[in-house]
Structure 1
Amino acid sequence: MMRLLSKLTLVGLLLPLIWSCSAIDEPPIIPQLPATIASAPSSITLIGEDEEEVVVFNVNPADFGTPMEVTYIIQMDRPGNNFANAADLGSSTSTTVEVKAADINRRAVSRGIIAGEAGPMEFRVRAVPSRSLSALEGAAVTINVTTFADPVALRNLFLVGEATARGWNNNDNNPALFRDPENPDLFVYSGFFNAGGFKVLENLGAWQPQYGTNDGTSIAVNPGNGSDPDVFNVPAAGYYTFTFDLAAETFSLVPIANVPAVFGTVGIIGSATANGWDASTAMNQLAFDKHIYYLTATLSNGEMKFRADNDWAVNWGSNTAISGRATQDGPNIPVEAGTFKIWFNSLDGRYVKIDQ
């Protein structure tokens, strides 16, 4: 009897092993296909005469393997950048997407095409599903874009060099200079610099236009067809105010005597922000200089302010929309809807919003 039980026990132990060795059906792999641009102008010439002028893109629909609503977004970036700085130009839940010509113009100028001139831009379709699946990006199409001189297309400038946060990397979230709201050729940056040299760039990821100095007193520039200038020199690590005047072709680098303490957090708040007036949206703090904060945010029409430590004891406001110098308990900053890279300096309250 004991021998029979032993045999039955052995069979019982072997059965799971036999079953576990049998073939297991793998779940089927559902193929997914990204959306692509089906038709678009072979070249785009923007003239700016009609603010409502649109450029029409038709797309081949994406296939997520199951029926669902899909939002198609036309994106643009300069060639060779792998859409690292992609601009969302327009969207639709249909396969026809209309993009405002003014939006293409503004984003093309900010990505290196000089106003009034022509150059290549890459376009693609980003398909965003209504269900919890990852978005799909289609293949890039290169289209030549001729821009126009848009009076609201403002120059943005960025720091590069061993004296600055990102070293000589020209496309690594380089800190922006703060443009004066009244004088578009005047820029100010107050903050920490290492000892060494730095330059100023106009377009992230491109080495020209490039600004520096050859004589230590005046601004020199290589717009793209000349020789690169020498660096601005920082004699010793510390806090400085760098003033950069393109109209006068002059600059200054003045030490800051008294540097205030840093805040734990700084955020944006207001009707134009994601949390309204109920809560701040935290900004990122630059590790190199904790007085500098940045954030990429999609804002709606409305107002906003900056405030420290999620409290109203310290808050900054101003009456200029794109750039300015905010002050304690200042007015609400007016906001026009869009996606922006926002830079803020708690040393002096300066801010700038850069179209994305």
Structure 2
Amino acid sequence: MKNISKLILALFALVMFSCSVEDVQDRPVIEASDAPVITAPTTGSSYVITPATSDKLLDRFAWAPANFNADVVVTYQVEIAKLTDKEFTKPQLVQSSKTNNVAVTGDNLNKAAIDLGLTPFVPTTVLARVKAVVGTQVIGSDPIEIAVNPFKVAPLLGLVGNHQGWNPAGLTSAYQMKPSAKGNSDFEGYAYLDGGFKFLEADDNLKFDWANVAYGSGGSGVLDAKGGDVTAAAGYYYVKADTQKLTYSLLKQDWGIIGDATPGGWGTSTPMTFDKATNTWEITATLTANELKFRPNNDWPGNFGDNGGDNILEGDGANIKIPSAGTYKITLDLSKSRAYTYTLVKQ
């Protein structure tokens, strides 16, 4: 009886082994034989990405499918690489797809371009390909060349230099410039400068560090990430910079008050004094119960008023009403990037 049982078990094992071998032999061999072929876009296509268009459709990449000699699900990956990296040893992924095309957005191509190390706002030719992946099997299309003009806008620019000891950690609001709107490349600010300085970008966490891009001078009014120091004679300046157009300007300013409430009336500004310790302009003056405004360089361009009566200044805003005659200590604070303010304290 034992011998019969052993014989049955042996026969069963033999049958199972035979079936397993046949199953393995009958399985299709998954092996990449034909690479995908890009049909759109074509070599020479060019893409300019801006903050205003980054979330929109940039282009639709399409390709003829790869062949793996089996009915399998293929993952396709659109990649870019530097022009010298013909083997795609260090590519950046743009977008993935399970079909034979993908809608590429500005955000995704821009991120890939910046991660690849492309210089913002400079058109650069790169290689683009489609890679087909099934398990460990990978095959890539022949690459095409496309030009990408990416953007990267810092949330703030800091004025780091001789005036504050060349200390990125010391870039307080008094030395920060804000963009005209979130994601824009044009910045403005007011700051006391004294000698050489650079425009240092903040990272996405609003941290200033020498590892970030620092723009110097590429000539009069020209920004250059590899340029030398920008220089300014000691004084208070209205500063503008555009990291896309690579331009900057400095306008030295002295501030004063003007209006029928002030000693000079509407005819001439009464000068204020800059306090480097507080980064504010101050004056103690006898005022009448009338109106005043703040203006630089005894001229109207760049003047400030107050539209809401909330001590927050607006360019070319409404006249500021003085409630009653008397002596006032007046402070003008342009050192905060979020809002420009003033105070009137009756003595």
What TM-score does the superposition give when structure 2 sets the normalisation length?
0.36
Q: Pick the structure with greater CA Rg.
A: 2
